[in-house]
Structure 1
Amino acid sequence: MIPLAFALELLNVGENEIGGIKADEYSFLGLIISVVIAAPLIETLIFQSIPIKIIQKLVNNRFNLFTILISSLLFSFAHYFYSVWYSIMILPLGVLLALTYLIFQKRKESSYWITTYVHGLRNLIGVILILTERI
């Protein structure tokens, strides 16, 4: 996501145009619960688990590239309400989460929970960066 943020900066797209969560509207605990816990739990189910399983059934577990593309685009479009720029910037995370889900389907660990942890960790890093700007 950093290279995309750099590219957006080169295009003179400011932070206000990119958008994102309005951290000032949340307490620290509110950010942790909504962004680090709830969002990954819900989004992993809606944008990785369900679409990937449906697509795999429809195409008999083939075409992982297609599966990754659909899951990633769904994840990206779901963040469009922040802005088109945010949606574009979040697309690589959608790819990472779809890949994580697919990789861990082949292992004994739960693909849902591992993907949720990866998503939550990424969001935690974002929350920490947002909170350090408040100081």
Structure 2
Amino acid sequence: MTIRARYPSTWLALAYIAFGPLVWAACHGLLYAAHWLLCVLLVRDILTAGAIHGVLLIIATVCAIILSLTIRCPDALAQFMLAGVSREAWMFSRSAMRLLAALSLFGVVAAGAAVLALPVCG
């Protein structure tokens, strides 16, 4: 029986670097799906418009918190996803992930602002 050394996974490293854009894409998918579903299911009046805004803002806020925590504490995720990577690759991946997560945070904040600015089920 041979024991293989643990080599870093390329897919996990790429997922780590692209974590911010993946959360951003998931946030947009959840926002659009929830918006569509709530507009189809709920009767459109003033109270339900406020409820729809509330649900959409909660989704955007949760995504923004996830991205903020990722920017603030990148090593917590990196320990799992970048196991076995060299120090230089670790530092590059960490910097790239933080930059992409910060850009994605701006996208999530813009989507949350659009929820407030646009009509609910127009």
What interval of TM-score do these two structures reach, taking the shorter chain for normalisation?
A: 0.3 to 0.5
Relative contact order: is structure 1 or structure 2 higher (C-alpha 8 Å, sep ≥ 6)? 2
State the TM-score, normalized to the length of structure 2: 0.37
* Larger CA Rg, structure 1 vs 2: 2
State the TM-score, normalized to the length of structure 1: 0.34
